[in-house]
Amino acid sequence: MAPARPLDVRALITAKRDGHALAAADWDAFARGVATGSVPDYQAAALLMAAWIRGMDATETRALMEGMLHSGTVLDLASLGRPRIDKHSTGGVGDKVSLVLAPLIACLGVAVPMMSGRGLGHTGGTLDKLEAIPGFQTRIPLARAKQQLEQLG
C-alpha cells in the first residue's frame, strides 16, 4: 500500500468552496484527521461549512461516512446472527426516546448495542441520564457488553 500523502485541509476547503467534489481519499483522510486531532477544529468547521453551502454528492457523502466509520475501532457484532441497529439523538432537554426505544426494538429480536454519549451540555447525554440511577453500570467490559447483547439483545 502506498503511503498516504499529507493532508492539506486548506486545499480541500478551497476546492469545496469553489464547488468541486472531493475525492473519497480526501474525505477519509479528513475524518481520520478530525478523530486524531491533527485537523484543527477551525479547519474542520470551515470545510463542513463549505460542504453545507455547496453540497455533497452521494459519492462524497458515502466517502465521509466511511471515513468516519473507520476513523476509530469498529465493533464487529456479526457473530450475533441477528439484525443490529443503533439509535442516536441530537439531544435536547426532553430527549428520553433512546431509553424507551432501545428495549422495545430489542424485544423484536434486533440487537441494539446503544453506543451513546455523555456530557452534551446542560441536557446531558443518555449515559448521564442512566448514571443518575443509583447502581446503574455504564462502564462494562466489551466482553460483558457482547454477552448482554447475545442474551438480551
Instruction: Give the pLDDT band of residue 66 (cuts 50, 70, 90).
Output: very high
Domains and CATH numbers, the chain: 9-69 (1.20.970.10), 78-152 (no CATH)
pTM of the model: 0.67
Distance CA 112, CA 106 (A): 6
Those residues whose C-beta lies under 8 Å from the C-beta of residue 29, and which sit 6 or more positions away, are 4, 7, 67
* pLDDT tens digits, one per residue of 74-110: 888 888 889 998 877 666 655 677 778 888 998 999 9
Distance CA 131, CA 113 (A): 17
> Which of 6-20, 35-49, 132-146 is the least confident region?
132-146
Residue 1 has pLDDT above 50, yes or no: no
Strand segments, DSSP code E, in 5-62 are none
